[in-house]
């Protein structure tokens, strides 16, 4: 029997390739790969390169460090969340790739106007794997537990809402993904679709021309079908990046009517082929449909359905006989009142110098104490908290919770933004990070000896909604105690609702 001797050089090549894959191996996933259950301790952290815009991702596997992403890949990364997303027993990491980091000789400058994409690094027991990058998001990512699986909701948008040179984006979409095996699987998608108009005007050119402060644009069209052109007038205001006022004048009427859009700013106004009550329908921005109700244009959907509000004006809220009319009564601080009608009449109240409260006039009912009869009057909405908005996703003292992040405002020049993991409608977890804009030392990066310190990407606290109170459970109680002893105690056991955050706008 002839024995075939193995090729030693081939063996060496295979060993070298395997070693390289294990050490520095970030491989693309294969959908056919099956999940391998494993018991392994993994944690991830980042190191920043000399250019301040390149990161090295390091995974510690059973106390041994592995470089997964190196500086030469020039990725500006941020650890969003660490956890076992595919239930294989190994810790994965969700990474945000922030586009637009530019360096100079004096330091680093981060340009947020290029958006962020996301991907996940996994470990299959032998090597690390990277999912594809998804999304172009500007305001973070939603992470939500559903049926025992973590769902990632990521938006793809043309531009951020806070961009100075803003053009209306009607192609935005938001997709939901889960980690299935070693790749991201899309489970659903919603898209912002544009309603096409037969004639339209937009504010893009005015926004991009920074020298224009105020201007008017006109749209002539036979809106009521009487054979003569009517006129739509859009007033542009630079301070709101769009049209602040929309008016219509019909040739068979003397008066010029204001169309209430229920928006502070409008970027597009279009006339549609369809008609309601003999008048062409209008589209505002991408797809807000307005129809003629016989007297004026109104949205095709109901606005502001809430009836129950809480008064939070410290000195009480004056009731008037008409919008800006004479006082006829007063609600006390903390009163819960019922609103009968929400008028499309704006009001700005200067609470103090440089502090203006915006709102509307609302019609309400109250008990007149003199006559002991129920009467009606008008109140300013700027001091009314919409109780339907009293959810977990509100502002609590110096902390604001949204579906995409938790923000601590320590000072006018210091705030920290933390990722948030949604457990259910009444519970969320704050994920630790060092994502901040702060001009002084807040102490949130401090570590203490002989105790467990917070780790980036790991849950730091759980917040639970109890009525109009928020209760906190901290996973690093010793660190919290140390921090609260040395700095202003922002990590409290209970948080109170910030009523001004619940105003209707």
**What is the per-residue DSSP string for 350-383?**
EEETTEEEEEEEEEEEEEETTTTEEEEEEEEGGG
pLDDT tens for each residue of 260-279? 887 778 999 999 999 999 99
| DSSP tag of 388 | G
How many CB atoms lie under 10 A from the CB of residue 96?
A: 21
DSSP annotation string for 293-337 = -SSSEEESS------EEEE--TT-EEEESSTT--EEEEEPTT-EE
| DSSP tag of 254 | S
Please give the pLDDT value at position 306.
56
Please give the pLDDT value at position 304.
46
Given a cut of 70, whether residue 160 has pLDDT beyond it is no
* 293-307 average pLDDT score: 71
Please give the pLDDT value at position 201.
94
Give me Rg for the CA atoms of the chain. Answer: 29
Please give the pLDDT value at position 356.
77
Please give the pLDDT value at position 295.
85
The SS3 of residue 16 is helix
pLDDT tens for each residue of 190-217? 988 899 999 999 998 888 888 899 999 9
> Which residue in the block uniquely carries the two structure tokens 């549609």?
272
Q: How confident is the model at residue 107 (pLDDT cuts 50, 70, 90)?
A: low
| DSSP tag of 502 | G
Please give the pLDDT value at position 37.
74
Quote the tokens at residue 173.
């979409």
Given a cut of 50, whether residue 442 has pLDDT beyond it is yes
User: Could you give phi then psi for residue 232, rounded to 5 degrees?
Assistant: -105, 130
Query: Which secondary structure element, helix H or strand E, spans residue 323, and what is its range?
Result: none
User: Could you give phi then psi for residue 488, rounded to 5 degrees?
Assistant: -55, 130
Angle at 64 between CA 63 and CA 69, to 5 degrees: 125
Q: How confident is the model at residue 18 (pLDDT cuts 50, 70, 90)?
A: very low
> Is the model more confident about 295 or about 279?
279
Given a cut of 80, whether residue 113 has pLDDT beyond it is no
- Give CA–CA dist 12/6, Å, rounded: 11
Distance of CA 471 to the CA centre of its chain: 23
Query: Which secondary structure element, helix H or strand E, spans residue 12, and what is its range?
Result: helix 8-24
Given a cut of 90, whether residue 169 has pLDDT beyond it is no
> Is the model more confident about 3 or about 123?
123
Please give the pLDDT value at position 345.
75
Question: What is the pTM (predicted TM-score) of this model?
Answer: 0.75
Given a cut of 70, whether residue 147 has pLDDT beyond it is yes
* pLDDT above 90 as % of the chain: 58
Structural contact between residues 76 and 55, judged by C-beta atoms closer than 8 angstroms: yes
Given a cut of 50, whether residue 438 has pLDDT beyond it is yes
> Is the model more confident about 340 or about 120?
120
Please give the pLDDT value at position 426.
96
The SS3 of residue 261 is coil
> Is the model more confident about 482 or about 240?
482
Q: How confident is the model at residue 450 (pLDDT cuts 50, 70, 90)?
A: very high
Please give the pLDDT value at position 402.
93
Q: How confident is the model at residue 157 (pLDDT cuts 50, 70, 90)?
A: confident
Structural contact between residues 220 and 199, judged by C-beta atoms closer than 8 angstroms: no
| DSSP tag of 484 | H
> Is the model more confident about 120 or about 193?
120
Which range among 74-83, 306-315, 442-451 shows the weakest confidence by mean pLDDT? Answer: 306-315
pLDDT tens for each residue of 314-373? 899 999 999 989 999 999 999 999 998 887 677 777 776 666 788 889 999 999 888 889
Angle at 112 between CA 144 and CA 186, to 5 degrees: 35
Q: What is the mean pLDDT of the chain?
A: 86
Quote the tokens at residue 278.
């003999």
């Amino acid at each position: 029997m002839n024995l075939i001797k193995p090729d030693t050089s081939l063996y060496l090549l295979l060993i070298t390739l395997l070693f390289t894959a294990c050490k520095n191996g970030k491989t693309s996933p294969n959908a056919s790969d099956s999940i391998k259950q494993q018991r392994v301790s993994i944690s991830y952290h980042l190191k920043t390169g000399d250019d301040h815009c390149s990161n090295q991702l390091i995974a510690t596997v059973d106390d041994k460090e592995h470089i997964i992403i190196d500086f030469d890949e020039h990725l500006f990364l941020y650890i969003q969340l660490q956890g076992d997303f595919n239930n294989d027993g190994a810790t994965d990491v969700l990474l945000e790739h922030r586009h637009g980091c530019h360096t100079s000789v004096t330091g680093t400058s981060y340009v947020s106007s290029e958006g962020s994409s996301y991907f996940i690094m996994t470990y299959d027991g032998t090597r690390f794997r990277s999912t594809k990058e998804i999304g172009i998001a500007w305001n973070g990512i939603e992470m939500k537990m559903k049926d025992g699986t973590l769902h990632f909701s990521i938006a793809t948008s043309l531009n951020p809402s806070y961009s100075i040179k803003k053009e209306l984006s009607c192609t935005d979409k938001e997709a939901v993904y889960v980690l299935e095996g070693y790749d991201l699987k899309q489970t659903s998608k919603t898209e912002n679709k544009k309603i096409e108009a037969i004639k339209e005007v937009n504010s893009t050119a005015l926004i991009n021309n920074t020298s224009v402060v105020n201007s008017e644009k006109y749209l002539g069209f036979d809106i009521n079908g009487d054979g003569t052109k009517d006129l739509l007038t859009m007033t542009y205001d630079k301070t709101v990046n769009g049209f602040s006022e929309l008016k219509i004048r019909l040739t068979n009427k003397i008066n010029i009517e204001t169309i209430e859009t229920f928006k502070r700013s409008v970027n597009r106004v279009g006339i549609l082929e369809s008609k309601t009550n003999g008048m062409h329908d209008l589209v505002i921005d991408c797809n807000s449909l307005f129809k003629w109700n016989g007297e004026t244009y109104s949205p095709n959907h109901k606005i502001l359905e809430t009836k129950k509000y809480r008064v939070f004006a410290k000195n009480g809220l004056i009731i008037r006989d008409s919008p800006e009319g004479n006082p006829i009564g007063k609600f006390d601080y903390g009163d819960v009142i019922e609103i009968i009608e929400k008028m499309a009449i704006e009001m700005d109240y200067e609470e103090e110098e440089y502090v203006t409260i915006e709102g509307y006039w609302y019609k309400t009912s109250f008990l007149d104490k003199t006559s002991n009869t129920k009467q009606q009057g008008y109140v300013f909405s700027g001091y009314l908290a919409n109780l339907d908005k009293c959810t977990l996703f509100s502002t609590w003292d110096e902390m604001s919770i949204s579906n995409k992040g938790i923000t601590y405002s320590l000072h006018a020049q210091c705030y920290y933004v933390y990722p948030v993991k949604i457990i259910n409608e009444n519970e969320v977890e704050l994920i630790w990070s060092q994502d901040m804009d702060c001009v002084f030392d807040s102490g949130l990066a401090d570590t203490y000896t002989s105790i467990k310190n917070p780790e980036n990407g790991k849950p730091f606290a759980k917040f639970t909604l109890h009525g109009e109170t928020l209760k906190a459970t901290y996973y690093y109680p010793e660190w919290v105690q140390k921090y609260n002893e040395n700095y202003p105690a922002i990590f409290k056991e209970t948080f109170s609702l910030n009523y001004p955050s619940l105003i209707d706008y």
